[in-house]
Amino acid sequence: MKKYILLLAAIICLPFILKSQTVEITPFGGYVFPGTLNADGGSVYFRGNGQYGGMVSIGISRVIDVDLIYNRIDTKADVNIYNWHDNIHSGEVPVSINYMHIGFTKNFRVNQVVSPFVGFNLGSCLIYPKADYQSAWFFSMGITGGAKIYFSKRVGLRLQAQALAPIQGSGFYMFAGSGGSGGGVSVYSTLVQFGFTGGLIFRLGKVY
């Protein structure tokens, strides 16, 4: 599953790569705060822990980047699950949470040194317990905000806050009446993982 997602992301990004003149490669690390995933059968509490990963930002203009992101969180989860006999399965389980996203970043270039930014990304999330529990895939989304600080034309620092969420459900609705008609799509998640990261930026290609 993971290799197909990466292949699809590469195919989507290929036109941007061919068109782009600037590419930023950023390995990063940071911390994510605790969060709880609730469901009908119980809940899973994910403890706060470190996170790490990397991203490739492809500049399609002076202010817009297309991002390929991998983010991994290795932590422990407190599991409380009810089965149909009303018994409780509980315990501490080591788990990895893997986000594989593609998204866009909007840069606000103050000057050649400082560039605040905001971003939005979508993709998939794999929650992989390192014990006798099944792994689970989710559609996921994230938002970011922070600043890039460049020490030179080729090296900089990326500091950001982020919110990542595995999507547990979605819905679609339509309506019509005397006041008009319309429709919409809704998604929900009980787990939102807030965190902070920092990483070195390595710039390739033409620098704007």
Instruction: Output DSSP code: residue 152.
Output: S
pLDDT value of residue 83 = 58
Domain that holds residue 61: 2-205
Q: Which two tokens stand for residue 126?
A: 């794999």
Domains of the chain: total: 1
The torsion region of residue 128 among left (phi > 0), alpha (psi -120 to 50) and beta comes to: beta
pLDDT value of residue 140 = 93
pLDDT at 1 over 80: no
Q: What percent of the chain has pLDDT over 90?
A: 49
Q: Say which CATH number the domain at 41 has.
A: 2.40.160.20
* pLDDT, tens only, 171-195: 443 444 455 444 444 445 678 999 9
Contact 201/153 with Cβ under 8 angstroms?
A: no
pLDDT value of residue 169 = 61
Whether the pTM exceeds 0.95: the reply is no
pLDDT at 205 over 90: no
pLDDT value of residue 17 = 54
Alpha-carbon span 56 to 64, nearest angstrom? 13
* pLDDT, tens only, 83-132: 544 555 566 889 999 999 999 999 998 888 999 999 999 999 998 888 77
Alpha-carbon span 84 to 196, nearest angstrom? 39
